[in-house]
Structure formats: C-alpha cells, structure tokens
Amino acid sequence: MNQRRKDLVQKFAALGSLLVLMIAFSFTSDAFFSVGNGMTVALQVTSIAYLGIGATCVIITGGIDLSVGSILALSGVAAALAVKAGVPVPLAMLLGLLTGAACGLVNGFFIAHLRLPPFIATLGMMLVARGLALQVTGAKAIGGLGDSFAELGNGALWRVVKVGTDGFPDVVFRGIPYPVLVMIVLAILVSIMLNRTTLGRHIYAVGSNAEAARLSGVNVTRVTLFVYVLSGALAGLTGCVLMSRLVTAQPSEGVMYELDAIAASVIGGTSLSGGVGSISGTGIGAFVIGILRNGLNMAGVSSFIQQIIIGLVILLTVWVDRLRNRR
C-alpha cells in the first residue's frame, strides 16, 4: 500500500472513531448535538489542541515535552503579574507567551547543546516552572485582572446580540470564540510549516534519522531548539488563553495537561519513535478526548470513570494503529 493511501486510512480510522463517539453521545443526551454544545466542545478542546500541536512537532523529532503543563501556569502567572504591574493587556499577554518560549529555549538548550535526554530535560523544567509559578504567587490565585484581560478567552467573532423587547440583550449567535479561531489559524499555519517548508521537512528528517540528517547538512541543533521553543511558546499561549477565560491566574493550573497533549498526538497517529505525525491527526485526537469528556459529562458519568475510559481509548487506538501497520 502506498504511503498516501495509508495516511488516508489512518485519518479515516481516527475520524471514524470520532464520528462513532458523536453519534453515540447524541443518543445519550439530546443537548449534545447542538451548535451551542459544539462551540463548548471546541472551546474546551483548544488547550489540548494548542499543546498538542507543539507536542506533535516535538514528538516528530523523536523527543518529548513533559513541561508544557507547568510552563502554561508560569506564563499565565507572568502575564497576570504584568497586568497587575500596569502593563497593557496585549503586551502582558505577549510577555506570557515569551515566558513560555524562553522556557522552551532552556529545554532546547539542555537537549540540543548539553545532550540531555528530552524526557529528563523537560521533567526538570516541569518541576522548575511549576515551582516558580507557585513561588512568585505564594501559591495564591491572582484575581481582579479586569475585563480586557478576559477578552481573549471569552470574546467571540461575529457575535450577534439583539436587544430584546424586554430591554435585555438577547444573544442570537454566540459567534466563534477567539480561542477557537486561534486554534484553527495555528493548526493551518503549523500544518503548512510541516508539509510545505524546508524547516518542516528537516523536523521529519531529524526524527527519522538524526545522524543521516546531520551528515546531509541539516542543522539538527537548530531544528531541535526550534521545536522546543515552539512547544514552549504554545504552552505560553495556552496559559494566557486559559487564565483569560478564568479571568484569574492560577499557579496550579494545567497539571497533567502535557499528558493530554501527548495523548492527542498519539491518538492522531504520531509515532513516539519519531519521524511520523501530522497536525490533522492531532486535531482529531484532541477532539476525540474533548468529545469523550463532554459527552461523558453530559451523560452524568463521574470524572473518575472518565479517566478510565480515556485511558482505555488511548490504549485501543494505539493498538489498532499497530495492527494496521503490521505486515
């Protein structure tokens, strides 16, 4: 079977399970299959998707990033502290994003230059970033950030509001939430980067055979640095969006999010041994997790049972993937 057809089968398999989930949940709850709930799911999925996009790039190079959950907390806190110090909101958010990128740069430095295994380097960063976030805030949430801080996480494009006959505003269309918009734009940009640019090709080459790539003149160090900086920056963005949605900066936010991100990549067909993976797959993976959570919630399934189910889904999809790739 040629590669393209195999990719298609892979996509359809993941997509198929996504559809099955949606149909199943539309039976368990009438409210599931509605535009409103669709937007809710999309909004809930954004964090996993941002982080998953970063994780996919990292995993394609054969690496792993365990630090994104902590980095997003530190970045959100940094942005909030900046706002408290009087920095305008957009600039503060940019600062949060750069904080994430800086953490990623440190990860990349340890991995590419000091040759630490990615697992260890990012495990260290996971503890350091979380510790920093808790230390600078005294483990307390930062509130009172103002309406403009909430705009990124709660605003929407094409929101239609009519003033009703009773004089109260009436929401006709909720619009497309900004986080969802950002997710779509990011997915398209990174997908183009991976598939159409030399940088993307080099990312695959490094994961497929790092030594062959190096001897072909690929700057392996720079490519490695790039993916960790990207992953860190996306974690920073996730932190800003998440804290904006809550209008509070929580230093304990995002625990275990890195595992959701990795799970989304893996469900989407990214291989942990490197060289294989796609953004579209990761998007599907993120939605599988998001819809499972949402649907199970609406069906009144406890969060403990949800964990069990999601765990089993990961095992099942990867096992099916293995079966398909075996001769």
Is 135 a binding residue for another protein by CB under 8 A? The answer is no
Task: List the one residue out of 142, 144, 146 whose CA is nearest residue 75.
Answer: 142
Q: CB-wise, 2 or 165, nearer to another protein?
A: 2
Q: Which residues contact 223 (CB under 8 A, 6 or more apart)?
A: 61, 199, 202, 203, 206, 213
Nearer to another protein, 199 or 308 (CB): 199
Q: How far is CA 223 from CA 57, 94, 207, 230, 278, in A?
A: 10, 23, 10, 11, 17
Determine, following the binding rule CB under 8 A, whether residue 60 of this chain makes contact with another protein.
no
Q: How far apart are CA 306 and CA 82, in angstroms?
A: 37
Residue 326 interacts with another protein (CB under 8 A): yes or no = no
Taking CB under 8 A as the rule, does residue 324 contact another protein?
Answer: no
How many positions of this chain bind another protein (CB under 8 A)?
26
Phi-psi region of 158 (alpha: psi -120 to 50; beta: other; left: phi over 0): left
The answer to whether the CB of 153 falls within 8 A of the CB of 43 is no
Q: Is 160 in the site for another protein (CB under 8 A)?
A: no
Tokens 């997908």, located at residue: 191
Residues pairing with 41 in the sheet: none
Closest contact distance (angstroms) between CB of 278 and another protein is 14
Q: Out of 79, 205, 234, 240, which residue is the one contacting another protein (CB under 8 A)?
A: 205
List CB contacts of 166: < 8 A, sequence separation 6 or more: none
- Does residue 178 bind another protein (CB under 8 A)? no
By residue count, the chain amounts to: 327
138 binding another protein? (CB under 8 A):
no
Residue 191 CB, shortest distance to another protein, in Å, is 13
Among 130, 202, 245, 293, binds another protein (CB under 8 A): 202
Region from 11-19, 63-71, 204-212, 290-298 binding another protein, contact rule CB under 8 A: 204-212
Q: Where are the alpha helices (DSSP H) in 61-117?
A: 68-84, 89-108
Q: For another protein, which stretch binds (CB under 8 A), given 133-141, 197-205, 228-236, 309-317?
A: 197-205
Closer Cβ to another protein, 8 or 199, answer by number: 199
Quick one: 3 or 165, whose CB is closer to another protein?
A: 3
The answer to the question of residue 4 lying near another protein (CB under 8 A) is yes
Rounded Cα distance, 112 and 29, in Å:
49
Closer residue to another protein (CB): 172 or 199: 199
Per CB under 8 A, 154 contacts another protein? no
- What type of residue is 35? V
Contact positions toward another protein, by CB under 8 A? 1-4, 196-199, 201-202, 204-205, 208-209, 211-219, 275-276, 327
